[in-house]
Amino acid sequence: MIAVVDYDAGNVKSVEKALDKLGAKHVLTSDPEIIKNSDSCILPGVGNFGDCMDKLRSRGLDSAIREFAASGKCFLGICVGLQLLFDESEESPGVHGLGILKGKVKKFESSEEIKVPQIGWNDVTSVKGRLFEGIADGTFFYFVHSYYLDAEDKNIVTSKTSYGIDYDSSVESGNVFATQFHPEKSSDAGMKVLTNFLKIAGEI
């Protein structure tokens, strides 16, 4: 059973639809105990970093997610769900993230060529790791974000994407996986990423 974390800040319907299509049993929940007792967990996220952290804390989900990530069971963060795993974000100065992984989330600098937020399809390069099994370097995925990850430990970075700068667009650290792009909105390539995660987690 996959717990999809519900904290009024996630694009949960498209995630649930993708899981349904893949035949993966899941539950949408804001109950910390259900999350901790699930076999795997997905943290979606859309919106402001600080607001998302406030919503997690107000429901006791921050400690549940930390405990789950430490359990060794498979965890996937998507979009802001990736950013929340790290220490801090320039979007919300002074707000502490989950701190499960080390790094900082920074704001894109806009220009005539670079519009912020980045909305649309972009390619991922330097791909490695289990989420990208069977996915070619340079495959395109769907992004919607104004802030990007700068991971402290580059060994956990499993893909890079260029948007004015080259930034870290996915990570894998033990049982913890995360993508800045939306696999659930990224057509066949995104479904392949989700399938890989579900196979790693033993869900399909």
Residue 96 a catalytic site member: no
Cβ atoms of 49 and 83 within 8 Å: the answer is yes
DSSP labels, 122-150: EE-BS--SGGGTT--TT-EEEEEESEEEE
Residue 150 pairs in a beta bridge with: 104
State the residue for tokens 């033993």.
202
Identify the active-site residue in 88, 91, 184, 203.
184
CA distances 77 to 32, 110, 114, 134, 165, Å, are 16, 26, 26, 20, 22
- What single-letter amino acid sits at 30? S
Residue 172 a catalytic site member: no
Q: Measure the CA–CA gap between 128 and 139, rounded to whole angstroms.
A: 12
Residue 48: name the closest of 10, 16, 99, 104 by CA: 10
Identify the active-site residue in 26, 88, 182, 203.
182
Residue 79 a catalytic site member: yes
Identify the active-site residue in 16, 74, 79, 91.
79
Q: Measure the CA–CA gap between 48 and 82, rounded to whole angstroms.
A: 13
State the residue for tokens 């539950």.
27
Give the residue numbers marked as catalytic.
79, 182, 184
